[in-house]
């Protein structure tokens, strides 16, 4: 395909996969259980954090987190006492365990009490969004924590494609028009977002000639972003649906 044909093809596939049906196969279904902004944010952030590995396992683990928090994530985060964190005993999703989850809940409480919430920490006129992820991680880990827990938040400035946090940002920022993403963060533009680069999107992007690098890292993400922004500078991350759908559902 030439560039014009590729553009049309990706637009078609993005439209095809960005539908309500997509939710049934995706961790985004967890925050879709809620209607209040802060519940959505916390459910989305925690679900995105563990979104690697088998999708059935991701959904099961994410739902378990929500149920442990009495299906009221914001209320649990803000009002929990130390003894309430014992409810997480035995929780594990791959390498993310109860100790990591306990810290994440404490860090979220700190963010809502002293930093005006998650959206505020990602809002800036001066920094590129990937730089804001770096700053967010520094704030997130300003409380005492186990060093091992830091690996569960990626840092683009250390070479990571930061797939899970970019996916979380897509969920929060992109329009809810098609019933998938939420569009509840109004201070960040969709034009600033980056693709949640993973195995599926990376492999399909290479097959389509969008990227050449073999690693799924920050440099590759920048390469892919620059191509997709030429197709749609206002909403380049809509192509996440196209690339993921082609890889995960069509085995393209």
Residues 23-70: tens digit of each pLDDT: 988 999 999 999 999 999 999 999 999 999 889 999 999 999 999 999
Report the candidate in 215, 193, 194 with the shortest Cα–Cα distance to residue 203.
215
| Res 53: pLDDT | 85
| Res 251: pLDDT | 80
| Res 190: pLDDT | 97
Mean pLDDT of the chain: 96
Q: What's the structural domain count of the chain?
A: 1
Spatial distance between the Cα atoms of 37 and 220, rounded to a whole number of angstroms: 32
pTM: 0.96
Spatial distance between the Cα atoms of 28 and 59, rounded to a whole number of angstroms: 9
176: confidence class by pLDDT, cuts 50, 70, 90? very high
| Res 9: pLDDT | 97
Quote the domain boundaries for residue 167: 3-248
| Res 78: pLDDT | 98
pLDDT higher than 90, residue 250: no
248: confidence class by pLDDT, cuts 50, 70, 90? confident
Spatial distance between the Cα atoms of 80 and 104, rounded to a whole number of angstroms: 12
H/E element, 23: helix 20-23
Residues 93-138: tens digit of each pLDDT: 999 999 999 999 999 999 999 999 999 999 998 899 999 999 999 9
232: confidence class by pLDDT, cuts 50, 70, 90? very high
For 166-174, what is the mean pLDDT?
Answer: 98
Q: Give Cα 185 distance to the centre of its chain.
A: 14
| Res 94: pLDDT | 94
pLDDT higher than 90, residue 177: yes
């Amino acid at each position: 395909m030439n560039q014009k044909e590729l553009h049309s093809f990706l637009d078609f596939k993005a439209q095809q996969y960005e539908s309500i049906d997509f939710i049934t196969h995706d961790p985004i279904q967890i925050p879709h259980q809620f209607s209040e902004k802060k519940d959505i944010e916390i459910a989305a952030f925690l679900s995105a954090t563990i979104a690697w590995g088998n999708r059935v396992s991701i959904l099961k683990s994410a739902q378990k987190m929500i149920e442990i928090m009495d299906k009221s994530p914001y209320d649990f985060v803000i009002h929990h006492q130390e003894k309430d964190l014992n409810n997480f005993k035995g929780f594990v999703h791959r390498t993310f365990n109860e100790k990591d989850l306990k810290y994440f809940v404490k860090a979220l409480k700190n963010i809502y009490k002293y930093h005006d919430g998650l959206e505020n920490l990602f809002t800036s006129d001066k920094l590129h969004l990937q730089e804001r992820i770096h700053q967010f991680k520094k704030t997130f880990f300003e409380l005492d924590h186990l060093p091992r827990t830091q690996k569960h938040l990626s840092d683009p400035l250390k070479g990571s494609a930061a797939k899970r946090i970019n996916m979380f940002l897509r969920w929060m920022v992109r329009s809810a028009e098609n019933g998938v993403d939420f569009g509840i963060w109004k201070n960040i533009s969709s034009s600033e977002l980056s693709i949640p680069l993973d195995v599926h999107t990376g492999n399909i992007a290479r097959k389509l000639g969008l990227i050449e690098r073999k690693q799924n890292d920050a440099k590759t993400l920048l390469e892919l972003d620059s191509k997709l922004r030429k197709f749609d500078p206002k909403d380049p991350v809509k192509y996440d649906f196209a690339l993921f759908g082609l890889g995960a559902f069509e085995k393209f």
